[in-house]
Structure 1
Amino acid sequence: MSYQNSLRLGDTISNLTGVIDYSYSEFRVLPTQTPQFMATNARTSNPEFNGTGSLKIASFNVLNYFNGDGTGQGFPTSRGADSAEEFARQSNKIVAALIDINADVVGLMEIENDGFGSHSAIADLVNKLNTQLGNNTYNYVNLNQTGIGSDEITVGFIYKPSTVSLVGSAVTTSQSPFDFGNRQPLVQTFKEIANNKELTIAVNHFKSKGSCDSATGNNADQGDGQGCWNELRTQAANELVSWLNTNPTGSTNGNILIIGDLNSYGKEDPINAITMQGYKNLISDHIGIGGYSYNFGGEVGYLDHALASSDLAPKIVDATIWHINADEPRIFDYNTEFKSTEQLTKYYGDDAYRASDHDPVIVLLNLNSNEILIGDFDGDNDIDQLDIRQFTTLVRSTNTLDIKYDFNHDNSVNNRDVRAMMSLCTRTRCAVE
């Protein structure tokens, strides 16, 4: 195995012959002959989408992007790279990933909380992007303050001024529950230059499932699979939606997108708290139960999210997760410790793969879209089991349905269109309920 000949999560194996061993509480197969590996989960050079849109929004955890003192010195830092050499390896990979994602707006997590000056981490990242792409390809949202909150890491925005402009100033809040554990959110309204349509994006990083020893009461691990600090994350979810309902940026446009590392899987309480208030889980709707952005202990799921308001949801063309990190061996990351001279070269490439430990989430949208979703009988901007039931009742009760409900295109509306409608279902589970 090498960086250019990787084994990825999801690759397959044949002719596996060996001895079953049990140690360190795990079963393992110790091959007695060389197995054959097949690259059935090949790398892709860019995120892939179904459809085309006018804007691309990404959410990317950049794994402790700390740039020392900003002048090439100041290593090791409290997080991230231990040396200037490691930081160069790290930044090469992060920059390569962002170039390949090619988003109009990127919400960042785990970037150093060192303000917005010329030596800050976010300025460093944008400068490196512009060095490769051309001056002013990207800019960053600047709060003109020393940082956001007191945590060592924070969230941020970079954006393309050629496609979007800023509407007013970005805002954040340090009110509970964003005064402890949960990083402060950052919210900015953008205007798409091509059509003057507005979009408000909130980038977030909720409290992790770690540091359980200090969690008490309902924040202690309840043994329900959601880990510790679940109550604090749920409080953050509820407070975030409540705050966004006050139009904190001053924009009254209903196009709102919540992105970020919410440290909660798709069906956990914090995500349910957001979707119960009208937001659509775009990973669930567009990828389904197989969506994942993170690999922990051999188990996968998505901690990284994109959730659209009811006004924005019909304008979403697609949402995807680009598997450049979760599927890759950890040895391919930027770190140099515990690697031989040969391994430093053999297991490294200055491209997107294993740039971080989280996969980026990317949303494709069309703010100009006013298209009515045919089959959405209950007006909730999707086609689900409730709509199928209502359509079934209509088909059985009348022979004069509008031809627009001819889902199988046979120039008539009948029971066969009920089955055809199921293929349009925008919720993975609706066809089997």
Structure 2
Amino acid sequence: MPLDTMIFPESYQTPEIELKRALLTYNKVFLIDPKENDIMPPELMTQAMMPPGMPFSPFAINMGAPVCPIIKSQSYENDFDRLLETFQPALKAGCLEVTTTYKESIKPGTVAIGAFSHGGATGYPLNPQAVLWFLRQLGGNQSLLKEALGAQPIDPAIIERASDIRFGAASGQINGAPALPMLDVPQQLEQHQAALTKLALSRIASVIKYYGYCENKNIVPFLYDPQTMHFVSRIISCANSSMDQATSTDQDAPWARVQRLQQILFSETLDGKKLEEASISDILRARTPGWLKSEEKKDGLLERLHEMAREEENFEEQASSELSGYLKQAEDLAHDRNNFRLQLYADIIPQAMDLRASIPFATGAGAATIGVSTAFTGASVPLIFIGAAAWACNMVREYGPQMRDLRRREQSLRSSSGLSFYRRVKGFR
């Protein structure tokens, strides 16, 4: 069965062409409910602030303040409703669904007693202490704040929107630790400093939350915004720098073999013009039994590639043979969708191209071609964020033992790309 995917929410509504692209690539596509605008349920902030190793408190308080708001445009909910109306055929077919990562279990201003750890009454699948720690470390680093904000001009409307939203509780003083810093901005932007800081923290919170959610649910994180993809690329680069330092003296490092998988790239280019012109019914008709079988072949190939990476000898030769066989089978099985597809690519790229530092991503909507690329990181999402957080607070040496221990104890290897791929496979032992 082809993998499921979750469209990564951005400040503005997902373009129709990106949703079409997801429907042509994955079994089921999930959209996040537009009313979900926080990194975690507010009532979990009490648990998140507990010192590491302390048992979860039975008390939960919803103060009515966000933990770290994920900022969206003023028209986001209305735009979401219009998007769903357009994609009604996909909703009825069961290949598109709206979901949430949590629900608020108590009303603002309420104190409650019960099962309020992650999971529990809120359904939140992530560890709130870990999420808060990642956010505080990444959000406290000026370099990463700037990377999160991005280099492109920011719409004044979204700056105004951020100005109307207060800072979350995660930004303030916690357990004696100082509040997170404001983003350093040039003098001409000082009037927008608070808003820009909130926007940067919003992207950091979004990446932590939704990547963690996808790993927990074993689904694909589908990214389409170039600035978010660049930020994820930066996070992975920082994490790999930390892990390289932490494991530089290890004699038996099985994950080092995984780096060979980072040379493998899958890519499918689609005709952007035809995709824009296609109706939703056209898209659904392209989800043929042949397409389903070709995706199942790809799924099996990914399993075999990870198994093959255990062997030190002839990996490249064996992988090339497997990739060539897959391409032929996929072309034969999915020939009936060639109306949309321009090229299918699967090969080993030159080792000099370090996918850990630069994740391939799609060209934007309206371009002549729309690319779907798949690459591997060779580490689980928690390990990536631990490595990035250690880099951000300049404590790689201190957190080195934890990183090494986590890599040894991981029961399975997770592989993902910054764009649109996530896969759980057997681990290296």
Same fold (TM over 0.5): no
Instruction: Give the structure with the larger strand fraction.
Output: 1
TM-score range, shorter chain: under 0.3
From the CA coordinates, give the structure whose radius of gyration is larger.
1
Larger RCO: 1 or 2 (CA < 8 Å, sep 6+): 2
TM-score (norm: length of structure 2): 0.26
Structure number with the higher helix fraction is: 2
TM-score by length of 1: 0.26
